[in-house]
Structure formats: C-alpha cells, structure tokens
Amino acid sequence: MASAIHCGLLPTDRIPSHEEFLAIPYYDRTLPELIGQPYLMGEDARGNSVYFMGLCNQRQQIDNMIRTILTVVGIHDGKYILQDAFPLITFSTKLGGLLSKRYCLTNLGRSMSIWGIQRCYPQFVELVENVKRRLE
C-alpha cells in the first residue's frame, strides 16, 4: 500500500474503495514462494524508483542483506530509503492474506484484507509523507 500511495496510484486525501485497491498492480497477486523478491511499483513525483517486497518473518535479515549488498556495490545510506510498512498491517489484513493465499478463499480473503487496510489507511498516508519529507 505504501508504495502505491508513494507513486500516486492511491489517493492521500480519502480512503480508497475496494475497487481502487484491486486495481493496484500486484495486489494479492504475488505467489508465496516469491516472498523476498523486489517489485517495481513505479516512480514518484521526483523520478525516484519505488519498490516493494514481502518479507514474511525475515524482515531484519533481509533488511541487513539489502543494506550490505548496496554498500558493497557502492550505494551508501542517503542514496536510498528502506521503509518497513509491516507494523501497519492489521490482524484482519494478515488473516485476509492467509485466507486468499493458503486456503484459496480469494474473494473473502481480499475483502478482509482491504477492510483491514482501509481501517488504518491514514497511517499508511502518514508513513509515506514522512518518507517523502526524508527525500527532500
């Protein structure tokens, strides 16, 4: 969600509809075995590439690995921002994802997931605004 907001694919002035969430590229469409693979969501208004990645329960290890690899190839802090949005994910969103992916109850799972995101959507917008301020 945060990457879609950051790229302007979702509004910042209101809570998106169910249909708007479903229109986001990749929303509930990535395979569980692709967790840890970065996906390009798009570019922000400043031309920065914005990626997202599902990290499951390996968030800190993958964060450390990405930072190490970027340093090795000469890209240091200040040239990128890694932002963890997982703390904003509610139980209903997690349960919805589980129902959709593991139990193939896609419609129910997506509806539950979207409902959970809608409930905390202003927090996603605030997170994105904080990241954008850090880019200035």
Q: Which residues are CB-neighbours of 22 under 8 A, at least 6 positions away?
A: 110, 114
Contacts made by residues 98-104, CB under 8 angstroms, sequence distance 24+:
100/28, 101/28, 101/32, 102/32
Taking only the tens place, the pLDDT of each residue in 3-41 is 999 999 999 999 999 999 999 988 888 777 777 889 999
Taking only the tens place, the pLDDT of each residue in 80-99 is 999 999 999 999 999 999 99
Enumerate the H helices of the chain as residue ranges. Answer: 2-6, 18-22, 59-72, 91-101, 106-135
Q: Which residues are CB-neighbours of 117 under 8 A, at least 6 positions away?
A: 1, 21, 89, 90, 93, 124
| pLDDT, averaged across the chain | 92
Specify the pTM: 0.91
Contacts made by residues 8-15, CB under 8 angstroms, sequence distance 24+:
8/44, 8/45, 9/41, 9/42, 12/125, 12/128, 12/129, 15/118, 15/121, 15/122
- Other C-beta atoms within 10 Å of 66: how many? 15
Under the banding of pLDDT at 50, 70 and 90, the label for residue 133 is very high
